[in-house]
Amino acid sequence: MKRLILMRHAKAEKTSASGRDRDRPLADRGRTDAAAMGRALASRGMRPDLALISPSARTRQTWDLLHDAFGDVQVREDEPLYNGGSDTLRHYVESAEDEAGCLMVVAHNPGIHLLAVDYLVESAASPSVLERMSGGFPPGAAAIFTVDVAGRCTFEGFLQPRDLAGE
């Protein structure tokens, strides 16, 4: 793996018709943001070969909108990614690292945020980068890392839907 994209699902409705959290759909803004994020990542040359997706409705809908910008991508939905902690997400990243040049994980907070911070700390990211990430990981945001041959992640960028005005 040469690049890792950690993304939180886009903005979701507060409730679902079933009352179950995992069934919450994307809000209108979430649909708009997810499509914009897909276009923004693709225009920057960040197209995943493999996407690991939580099976919740909001993450699957986020992926469907992202996918429009990426084209053909292998996708796996894994139950443990639904509200999985950073250790669970890391396990999935590490077990897929030889399968793709660019791996994308679309999952939930707090796990996705904590994993991004873990990678930042491990790569000795600058205090300004750590400060920016300490402000949270809003819906639809993506942290991008370059991965070296030893598997160490180096921070490449952080995109938020609000940063994409006009894209």
> What local confidence, expressed as pLDDT, does residue 166 receive?
61
* Digit-coded pLDDT (tens) for 67-117: 989 988 999 999 999 999 999 999 999 999 889 999 999 999 999 999 999
Confidence of residue 122 (pLDDT cuts 50, 70, 90): confident
Q: How does DSSP assign the chain, residue by residue?
A: --EEEEEEPPPB-S--TT--GGGPPBPHHHHHHHHHHHHHHHHTT---SEEEE-SSHHHHHHHHHHHHHH-S-EEEE-GGGTT--HHHHHHHHHHHTTT-SEEEEEE-TTHHHHHHHHHHHHTT--HHHHHHHHT---TT-EEEEEE-TT--EEEEEEE-GGGGTT-
Q: What is the pTM of this model?
A: 0.95
> What is the pLDDT averaged over residues 19-42?
95
| Ranges of each domain in the chain | 3-164
Q: Which CATH class is domain 3-164?
A: alpha beta
Note the pLDDT tens digit of each residue in 130-162.
888 887 899 999 999 998 877 788 899 999 999
Q: So what's the pLDDT on residue 110?
A: 95
